Structure 1
Amino acid sequence: MRSRTRTSAAAVAATAATAALALTAGLGLAVTGAHASGSKPSGPAWTAAWAASPQRASTGFKANWSEDGFSGHTLRQIVRVTEGGDRSRIRLSNAYGTSPLHIAGATIARTKKGAAVEEGSVRRLTFEGRRSVEIPAHGQLSSDEAGLKLKPFESVTVTLHLARTTGPATFHAQSFATSYRADGDHVGDAGAGAFDESTESWYFLSGVDVRGARDRDRAHTRDGIVLFGDSITDGFASSTDLNRRWSDALAERLAKAGTPRPVLNAGIGGNLVLNDSAWYGERGTARFGRDALDLPGVGTVVVLEGLNDIGFSESDTPTYKPAPKVSAAELIAGHRKLIRAGHAKGVKVVGATLLPLGGSDHYGERAAKVSDEFNEWVRNSGEYDGYVDFDRALADPADGERIAPEFDSGDHLHPNDAGYRAMARAVDLEAL
């Protein structure tokens, strides 16, 4: 990764006022919903330790429970945090719900194995002092703090009792982690016996935050790193339940280097920079505020997105719609919106070149040409605060248009576990 001079605070302040209205309307910077910020902080600020980007209910990938929703169920979900803290809380989203979402009860606990949690670690969650709460349609909220101390890279189990019928569920389609469901109220169970159904998606859960451990004086420190993008950022083809996305590999590399920082994943499989999709989420320029800039403690965003914008038109896959033919100039204009939005919030924005796409269903002469033009802009324009060259880092030395065989998951588009580790190695840590 090459680092570029950071936009000065004075320059950001000068442009923020004129950009604020457009950014709020066009990039989803406003937070809506009851208790959006959770309980009022005292002492150290909250820091996002894990995140997932919400999507509308759909069945574009594997079978899931999103369209049917839940009724009288207990839902148990497992995530791995990349930051530790003395206290923790969760964030829930009903962003795509059309009616209030009733949470009858919720707990957080340390994961044991599968759907089982460690005995004695279960903490009841409250919301402004109440054990049950309603999240309005299109809203989101944070729980009160729970007295559960977490360590970096610890797996955490969040359990929700959904006693009433939810309707279609706001979810994250591709978790590459197993979630579990039980009939009835099992929110406080330590054992896994009741949880006899499973899926690979996350539902309603959009974040886990921590505070109070690593730095008692970090109330004004923003060192969180968000990786923003599509299925490659989401971790498509990575090993289920093993945390082998490139976000996991980057967090582990930072810790090993003695410079630990939280790394948050804001990827959505199939996502586009310029167009909304019924299957693959709101366009990147619309969700950037909610899914990246508004996460607690974020100071840097790494943007890797655009292969679907230029590659969907090369395939007749039904879910790849809309699929207009996008020029390099149009894709660059979309990325410039992301850069401006980040700078207006005082966030460092790092760009990434698109990975090779030769041999994939996204490949065509036109798509390859647009990808090359876009990558040259990332490398040479200086508009991003820095860049990481994934195109060169993962390319096959014998054929630069293809991912190297040792990094290819098999579809010639997505990396395998080794490829995601190679992506993390390609990053200049000092430039983040």
Structure 2
Amino acid sequence: MLMGDTWVQSLISAIAAVMAAAQPMVPPTPIAGQPPAQVRKAGNWVGSWATAVTQADRTGLSATGVANTTLRQVVHLSVGGNSVRIRLSNRFGTRPLVVGRTTVVPSKVTAGATPTVEILQILPLTFKGKPAVTIPVGADVISDPVSLSVAEDSDLVISTYFPSATGPLTQHPAGYATAFSAYGEQTTGGGAQYRKIPGMARFVVSEVDVRGSAKGALVLFGDSITDGAASPMDRNLRYPDQLADLLLLRGVGALNAGIAGNRLLANAGSSGEAAIGRFERDVVRRTGVQAVVVLEGINDIRLTRGAISATQVIAAHRQLIARAHAAGLKAYGATLTPYWASAQYTVGGEIARQAVNQWIRTSGEYDGVVDFEAALRDPKSPLQLLPAYDSGDHLHPNAVGFTAMAKAFDLNLVG
């Protein structure tokens, strides 16, 4: 297929339009046994940072867990506030998770990955008034609030001590941030005790809420493109990071709920539960959430090489829209980005992608559209990413492409 063949473009567009028009407008089928979720009413608390958690990998620290060890992790906040609380997750653990002590401290380091903090600013957290907490299998806990002023667009360092063997740890595999570990109880250590953990995963910490003047939060829900694949480590240049900076103009936080390899319709191990299965946990139950941007479906299309149809992808999107609306959230649909010449590319998959995008743009079922395809495609060869935005695998944008994605979001959607 020649990228410049306009007749091919016209054919694909025509087929996409026919397929989109043929979709039956029927209500989504609810997941059996799953109670309706509602947005957590949280007063003036708002999510400032979050990550979507998965089960442990087969190897590495998430698989083995730790014992008598402190993990130190750096999270990049969106909105600021005058009080902080954090969420710890044992959603995918295999045994009750004992947390001996947890501390937080703002970071003034502006470049590079380091565990170094100012000791005198470290603050301990409590859970129902106690420094230690045991998290049941499948559960989360939220810390008590601590009075701490944190600036917008700043870093917070979280240190968590695990006194006994944890077993496999709930994680986020692709955090694009360096984590650190130290032997023993080092939650108040200055940093010299810590060593880098290989890889780029995050462990147990899943959300940071702040109390302040922010209006609410926007969840960016998706796969590796939302997660930040090909993003430089420790630079906070993923599209949700860059959009977070723009959302500050509207007083809205940004929460990244992307998972590399995630699919709409299939569970994928450490690539996360299917999007239709994790939506309530990763979107609806986030603190102060007002709206969600959905960028999901390209993995269902390309990894199955056509076995998943546009009809099935659209039906899944309809489920997400209905569940967002039932919880009082706005839902914005993001068009699937070009993937020509990438691994698993097929003409059938391209037609399905075009059909899904046609439906997102024209059906009116989403409350708004974020046209990432238009922002990233090469005007001369519209089936592929603009070379300046291509990370090299013809699927994932680079940091400049993530900038284009952030700028494609209409800030008027959040007021």
Question: Normalising by the residue count of structure 2, what TM-score does the alignment of the two structures yield?
Answer: 0.88
Supply the distance in 1 between the matched residues of 2:47 and 2:329 (Cα, whole angstroms). Answer: 15
Which residue of 292, 307, 312 corresponds with 2:298? 307
| Counterpart residue number, 1:265 | 256
SS in 2 for 1:47: strand
Partner residue of 2:233 out of 223, 235, 240: 240
- Structure 1's 27 and 229: CA in aligned 2 closer, same or farther, altered over 3 A? farther
- Provide the rounded CA distance (Å) in 2 between the counterparts of 1:347 and 1:309: 25
- 2-structure distance, mates of 1:409, 1:109: 34
CA contact (8 A) 2:49 2:256 kept: yes
| Residue type of the alignment partner of 1:45 | N
Trace 1:16-415 onto structure 2 (pairs within 5 A): 22=30, 25-26=33-34, 29=37, 44-59=43-58, 64-113=60-109, 114-189=114-189, 191-199=190-198, 200-211=200-211, 213-214=212-213, 223-255=216-248, 258-314=249-305, 325-415=307-397
**1:156-177: CA deviations, max 9, x gaps?**
0000001100000000000001
Q: Distance in 2 between matches of 1:413 and 1:64?
A: 27
On the 8 A contact 1:30/1:290 being kept in 2, the answer is no
Partner SS state of residue 115, structure 1:
coil
Does structure 2 conserve the Cα–Cα contact (< 8 Å) formed by 1:27 and 1:288?
no
Q: 1:29 & 1:408 partners in 2: Cα distance?
A: 38
Q: CA deviation at 1:25?
A: 3.5
Give the C-alpha shift of residue 69 in structure 1: 0.7
1:419 aligns with 2:410: no
Q: Is the 8 A contact 1:182 1:197 kept in 2?
A: no
- Mapped to 2, the partners of 1:362 and 1:245 lie a distance apart of 24
Alpha-carbon distance between aligned partners in 2 of 1:27 and 1:91, rounded to the nearest angstrom: 22
Q: CA deviation at 1:111?
A: 1.8
Partner SS, residue 290 of structure 1:
helix
Tell whether the 8 Å contact from 1:28 to 1:287 is kept in structure 2 after alignment. Answer: no
Give, as a single letter, the amino acid of the residue that structure 2 aligns with 1:184. G
After superposition, the C-alpha distances for 1:385-421 in whole angstroms (9 at most, x for unaligned) are 1111111110011211110011011110000000000
SS in 2 for 1:193: coil
2:312 match: secondary structure: helix
Distance between the aligned counterparts of 1:389 and 1:45, measured in 2?
31
Aligned to 2:20: none
> Is the 1:23–1:341 Cα contact (8 Å) retained in structure 2?
no
Q: Which AA in structure 2 matches 1:225? A: L
One-letter amino acid of the counterpart of residue 242, structure 1: R
- 3-state SS of the aligned residue for 2:88? strand
Aligned residue pairs, count: 383
**Cα offset for 1:290?**
0.3
CA-to-aligned-CA distance 1:36-88 (integer Å, 9 cap, x gap): x9xx97xx4321110001100015xxx74110111111000000110111100
Structure 2 equivalent of residue 318 of structure 1: none
Describe the shift of the 1:291–1:185 C-alpha distance in structure 2 as closer, same or farther (beyond 3 A).
same
C-alpha separation in 2, matches of 1:47 and 1:224: 6
Secondary structure of the residue aligned to 1:90 is strand
Partner of 2:352, secondary structure, is helix
CA distance in 2, matches of 1:240, 1:423: 19
Following TM superposition, where does structure 1 have runs of at least 4 consecutive aligned residues deviating by more than 3 angstroms? 21-31
Contact 1:27 1:286 in 2 (8 A): no
Write the distance in 2 (CA, Å) between the matches of 1:28 and 1:365. Answer: 38
> Which structure 1 residue ranges, 5 or more long, are not aligned?
1-17, 32-36, 216-220, 315-323
Q: CA deviation at 1:278?
A: 1.7
How far apart are 1:30 and its partner, in Å? 8.4
Q: Determine what percentage of the aligned residue pairs are the same residue.
A: 39
Give 1:196 deviation, angstroms: 1.7
Deviation of 1:427 after TM superposition, in Å, equals 1.2
CA distance in 2, matches of 1:373, 1:27: 32
Per the alignment, in what secondary structure is the counterpart of residue 157 of structure 2? strand
- Partners of 1:169 and 1:116 in 2: how far apart? 24
RMSD: 2.0
Instruction: Return 5+ residue gaps in structure 2 as ranges.
Output: 1-26
Please state how far the C-alpha of 1:23 moved relative to its aligned partner.
Answer: 5.7
User: What is the DSSP-based 3-state SS (H/G/I as helix, E as strand, rest coil) of the residue aligned with 2:395?
Assistant: coil
The answer (yes or no) to whether the contact 1:88–1:147 under 8 Å persists in 2 is: yes
Asked if structure 2 preserves the Cα contact closer than 8 Å seen for 1:26 and 1:286, the reply is no
1:99 Cα offset (Å): 1.0
